Structure 1
Amino acid sequence: MDNPILWTLISVQVFMGAFDTLVHHEGTERLAWRASQKKELRLHGVRNLFYAVIFLCFGWSEPRGVFTAVLTAILFLEVAITLWDFVEEDLTRRLPGSERINHTLLALNYGAILAQAAPYLWSWAFMSTALVPVSYGWWSVMATVSAVGVGMFGVRDLLAAARTDRLGRGDAAKLVADLRPRQHVLVTGGTGFIGRRLVQSLVAGGHYVTVLARNTKRIDTLTHPVRVIASLDQIDEIERLDAIINLAGEPVANWFWTARKRARIIESRVETTEALHALIRRLQNKPECLINGSAIGWYGLRGNETLTETSEAEPAFVHDVCQAWERAAIKVAQSGVRVVILRIGLVLGVDGGMLSRLLTPFEFCGGGILGTGRQWMSWIELDDMIRVIAFALARQDVNGVVNATAPEPVRNIEFTQSLSQALQRPARLRFPGWLIAGGLGEMGRETMLSGQRVLPMRLQKLGFAFVYPRLTSALCAMTGRKHVEFERSNQKTSSEGRTVAD
């Protein structure tokens, strides 16, 4: 089957399949960590294993007789599975436009492959049954690499499908159980990582939710029924809002901080907060509370210092962002509204944020320590974050700055070890600080190689109870691993991890 056209088509299929898997399935959609995609993951797993067989067979052999019939059956079973997969995807999730286009091109290209391969399969089918070894040089090598790749993802997808039943988050309504019934809450940033879970919890709790969403493409990710507005001008002055939760802002930990990017990061937060202030001033019935986002970056880069709400700040761009945002929020208090500023740590969940970007590399043994590994990571589990927001809304004695972090921050080396154990994968790589700083600039230095050791002093004094105060139990719940098994394996290396980190 020394046919350059056929091998070119196969190469194109490999490239588009890899793009679909890495960019869509692993990147934007994170299918392996979505409890709703069990059937789709199974279909992907079986199809990928079929692809592994097809690539190896075409790359190193001429299947004849019965073997031809088996290979032909696999080729057409792949078509049937793909059609089934298309139906399943349409029923369970909204596909981005790029994924639909890619699927169409994959289907057309696969048809061309079958058309090119058909004459060879026809002639081989009438020969004596045998698996004749062949080699097509680098084409065979490419086929082998492709087979290994799709085979690994096929096995992983089948394992991921088996764990989906353990990824359920439970009753979202319980996260906001302390709120008075039937509150009308305005949420900005509602289509973001924290915002989606917050909206889901409020809706499940029977509250009326209005979401300010300027990016209409992400509206379908919200739990309904919700009211979606594109501008605060759509809120009439006679409307009654019980509370406002402001989480909107340009992502910070994204690529280089150019001058234009820095300006957008700050302006997106300040302008939205100032617009909310203008809304509050014109409302006839003022909301009782504004919960405004901020971040522990307010404290700057502080090394090993233990930081509470009373600690001072050090210069850094992350501090500049938070300071500008908090100043805009504090002005709202002049309108007689209770203002709570949440300095949020690293929010952990498989649905988004930092952790979701680490899952695929760690699952394929590509995880490792960043820089020295000694930088502190002050974190909070996603549902605990929602509980903190609800706690701040419900308690009228909560105002001012509140650190929204778990009570036990960890160093990067401890985080790496814990995630490695939760996923049952080794994480022996090290990513030098010079490489991160060189590749990502100041963003890498401030958000990945530096950190803050922040404690939630005010929350603890007010009696807030964290469900996940320790990283081990949080990662256990998020990854669907049994807690007892996790703690047992964690104890074997905890003393070594502390020795290195201290």
Structure 2
Amino acid sequence: MTTTLWLFIALQMTMGAFDTFYHHEGTERLAWRPGQSVELRLHGIRNLAYMLAFACLGWTIPKGGWAIALILLLAGELFITLWDFVEEDRTRHLPATERITHTLLTLNYGVILAMLIPRLLDWAGEPSAIMPVHYGMMSWFCAIAAFGVFVSGLRDLAAARRCPRLVPADPAPLAAALGHSKTVLVTGGTGFVGSRLVEALASAGHDVTVLARDRARAAPLLQAGPVRIITSLDAISPDTRIDAIVNLAGEPISNSPWTRAKRQRIVRSRMGMTQNVLRLIQRLHHRPEVLVSGSAIGIYGLRGDEKLDESDEGKPCFSRHVCLNWERAARRAEGLGVRTVYLRTGLVLDASGGMLARMLAPFEYGLGGRFGDGRHWMSWIHRDDLVRLIVHCLARPEINGPVNGTAPVPVTNRTFTAALGRALHRPAMLPVPAWPLRRLLSGFAEELLLNGQRVLPAVATRSGFSFRYPNLDVALAAITGGDKMILTDVPVRPLALKEG
């Protein structure tokens, strides 16, 4: 084994690890995407083949029949890779970085085979034997790589078996409360919550217009039903009839640290879009009946163990500044005769996005745990329940003003992480200390990771809304493909919000 060959093998290992962690686990989240069972099975088998190859090359010299077996193993890996390429093109759109990585991996693998196969053929001519060998650091590098692909391979095979249980429920019933056909404009319709809302409305037969910056990204929504995609509100003529507007557009708040530029984008995106929606309402000949405008429970600030409902004030922090200004901007719609609802959303749970999606991989590998002391509150809601609550607000003319988009049973971070571990059948015993989070992420960590609000959905429950996922274990079981449950709408009695 020459130094040059080892360099190419090490490069293959490094690029493969990047592809796995950045694409498969990170941006694509393949283990939690419905319909990827074949690709995951191919990845699992290929990773187990890599394990055998790395262990063999790093610690042995295979001769005779063992060398021939290794050649066949490498040929099988090549066949699986080609099959994987076909499966990927059939089931999903690969991002540019993944296509480039796959091309480099293929070229590099070709170089490895060109250098390795002649040596293996020479060994194949000798009597069958497995001779131990030690290549120093490269042997240990191979051992680490073999262990990594072994764990990843077993995980992918398990995820492939789980895939059929991850198929989302029919979205149409989520919009059942809206009744007869309505025309609804949704901004932020390609986002985590907005896309599911659009699917629900369109599947239920409502006419939906989606404002999207990227028409190609919004194209999959056309499969749900009568959906019109626009890239500017100016495309809507004044004589267009719009019955309701749901304004969810805005820079994501939890996908990166709050640098000064990020804070500006968070504020400006929400204010700018809301102002554009108001200008649209002003010029429409038939003004909408209702505007549901996004907000968040961050408007209450950091309040410790206090039970909070829509009547409570807040304490100053960046999240409150964003939400307060967002709601004030939307309030102008009331002066235009439009019933206005401010949807104060909590932590939205689903495997396809949001904070939970970023937690699934480390927890599934047994690396999850609480943040800090884990005593801060997490007010959560299943994504489908949030969609149903939005539709509920559209359909009930008596609802206006702030509405908390949270489930009736908030939990502490310690309870949340323990429940997620149970749902994945993994331990959740590796806490993330508070001090590095505060040092690295500053206000982002302080407001989103280490503190929270204990928020209760008083308006929703008083108006008769029933939660399909009222408690965390039921929600996480549904999201993670856990035990089959018969889920029905569970009425929740109005809560005693104030103690004493």
Given the two structures, how large is their TM-score scaled by the length of structure 1? Answer: 0.94
Contact kept in structure 1, 2:278 and 2:333, CA below 8 Å: yes
Kindly state the Cα deviation for residue 182 of structure 1 after the two structures are TM-superposed: 2.9
- Deviation string, structure 1 residues 224-282 (Cα, Å, up to 9, x no partner): 35322111111111111121111111111233322222121111001000000000111
- Deviation string, structure 1 residues 332-373 (Cα, Å, up to 9, x no partner): 111111111110000000000000000000011110111111
Kindly state the Cα deviation for residue 28 of structure 1 after the two structures are TM-superposed: 1.0
Kindly state the Cα deviation for residue 374 of structure 1 after the two structures are TM-superposed: 0.5
1:173–1:237 Cα change, 3 Å: same
Equivalent position of 1:140 in the other structure:
139
Distance in 1 separating the partners of 2:205 and 2:69: 56
Query: Quick check: 64-73 or 304-313, which moved more?
Result: 64-73
Distance in 2 separating the partners of 1:201 and 1:310: 30
Distance in 2 separating the partners of 1:320 and 1:79: 55
Q: Which amino acid aligns with 1:388?
A: L
Kindly state the Cα deviation for residue 482 of structure 1 after the two structures are TM-superposed: 1.1
Instruction: Please give the secondary structure, in 2, of the residue aligned with 1:342.
Output: strand
Instruction: Please give the secondary structure, in 1, of the residue aligned with 2:370.
Output: strand
Contact kept in structure 1, 2:71 and 2:117, CA below 8 Å: no
Equivalent position of 2:431 in the other structure:
430
- Counterparts of 1:220-369 in structure 2 under 5 Å? 220-224=219-223, 225=225, 226-369=227-370
Distance in 2 separating the partners of 1:40 and 1:183: 40
Equivalent position of 1:36 in the other structure:
35
Distance in 2 separating the partners of 1:56 and 1:445: 44
Distance in 2 separating the partners of 1:164 and 1:481: 11
Contact kept in structure 2, 1:199 and 1:223, CA below 8 Å: no
Contact kept in structure 2, 1:191 and 1:221, CA below 8 Å: no
Distance in 2 separating the partners of 1:315 and 1:215: 35
Distance in 1 separating the partners of 2:484 and 2:421: 14
Distance in 1 separating the partners of 2:406 and 2:422: 22
Equivalent position of 1:495 in the other structure:
none
Contact kept in structure 1, 2:172 and 2:204, CA below 8 Å: yes
Instruction: Please give the secondary structure, in 2, of the residue aligned with 1:238.
Output: coil
Kindly state the Cα deviation for residue 220 of structure 1 after the two structures are TM-superposed: 4.4
Kindly state the Cα deviation for residue 171 of structure 1 after the two structures are TM-superposed: 1.1
Structure 2, unpaired ranges of 5+ = 486-500
Instruction: Please give the secondary structure, in 2, of the residue aligned with 1:58.
Output: helix
- Counterparts of 1:100-115 in structure 2 under 5 Å? 100-115=99-114
Kindly state the Cα deviation for residue 202 of structure 1 after the two structures are TM-superposed: 1.6
Q: Which amino acid aligns with 1:380?
A: I
Equivalent position of 2:414 in the other structure:
413
Task: Establish whether residue 89 from structure 1 lines up as the match of residue 88 from structure 2.
Answer: yes
Equivalent position of 1:395 in the other structure:
396
Equivalent position of 1:118 in the other structure:
117
Instruction: Please give the secondary structure, in 2, of the residue aligned with 1:430.
Output: coil
Q: Which amino acid aligns with 1:13?
A: Q
Instruction: Please give the secondary structure, in 2, of the residue aligned with 1:302.
Output: coil
- Deviation string, structure 1 residues 37-64 (Cα, Å, up to 9, x no partner): 1111111111111111111111111111
Instruction: Please give the secondary structure, in 1, of the residue aligned with 2:402.
Output: strand
Q: Which amino acid aligns with 2:167?
A: G
Query: Quick check: 433-442 or 175-184, which moved more?
Result: 175-184
Distance in 2 separating the partners of 1:473 and 1:256: 31
Distance in 2 separating the partners of 1:90 and 1:410: 41
Q: Which amino acid aligns with 2:323?
A: C
Output the aligned Cα RMSD: 1.2
Distance in 1 separating the partners of 2:319 and 2:214: 25
Equivalent position of 1:49 in the other structure:
48
Equivalent position of 2:475 in the other structure:
474
Instruction: Please give the secondary structure, in 1, of the residue aligned with 2:167.
Output: coil
Contact kept in structure 2, 1:20 and 1:102, CA below 8 Å: yes
Equivalent position of 1:487 in the other structure:
none
Instruction: Please give the secondary structure, in 2, of the residue aligned with 1:222.
Output: helix
Instruction: Please give the secondary structure, in 2, of the residue aligned with 1:369.
Output: coil
Distance in 1 separating the partners of 2:234 and 2:252: 25
Equivalent position of 1:169 in the other structure:
168
Percent same amino acid at aligned positions? 53
Distance in 2 separating the partners of 1:84 and 1:181: 47
Q: Number of matched residues?
A: 483
Kindly state the Cα deviation for residue 483 of structure 1 after the two structures are TM-superposed: 5.9
1:62–1:220 Cα change, 3 Å: farther
Distance in 1 separating the partners of 2:203 and 2:393: 19
Distance in 2 separating the partners of 1:238 and 1:345: 36
Equivalent position of 2:62 in the other structure:
63
Distance in 1 separating the partners of 2:440 and 2:186: 35
Distance in 1 separating the partners of 2:243 and 2:27: 34
Equivalent position of 1:465 in the other structure:
466
Q: Which amino acid aligns with 2:422?
A: Q
Q: Which amino acid aligns with 1:287?
A: P
Kindly state the Cα deviation for residue 180 of structure 1 after the two structures are TM-superposed: 2.8
Contact kept in structure 2, 1:211 and 1:227, CA below 8 Å: yes
Runs of 4+ in 1 over 4 A off after TM superposition: none
Q: Which amino acid aligns with 2:165?
A: R
Task: Establish whether residue 9 from structure 1 lines up as the match of residue 8 from structure 2.
Answer: yes
Equivalent position of 2:441 in the other structure:
440
Kindly state the Cα deviation for residue 217 of structure 1 after the two structures are TM-superposed: 5.5
Contact kept in structure 1, 2:68 and 2:121, CA below 8 Å: no
Contact kept in structure 1, 2:420 and 2:476, CA below 8 Å: yes
Q: Which amino acid aligns with 2:273?
A: T
Contact kept in structure 2, 1:418 and 1:471, CA below 8 Å: yes
Kindly state the Cα deviation for residue 223 of structure 1 after the two structures are TM-superposed: 4.8
Instruction: Please give the secondary structure, in 2, of the residue aligned with 1:35.
Output: coil
Distance in 2 separating the partners of 1:217 and 1:360: 28
Distance in 2 separating the partners of 1:61 and 1:38: 34
1:4–1:181 Cα change, 3 Å: farther
Kindly state the Cα deviation for residue 216 of structure 1 after the two structures are TM-superposed: 4.3
Contact kept in structure 1, 2:184 and 2:243, CA below 8 Å: yes
Instruction: Please give the secondary structure, in 1, of the residue aligned with 2:36.
Output: helix
Instruction: Please give the secondary structure, in 2, of the residue aligned with 1:429.
Output: coil
Task: Establish whether residue 215 from structure 1 lines up as the match of residue 214 from structure 2.
Answer: yes
Distance in 1 separating the partners of 2:221 and 2:32: 18
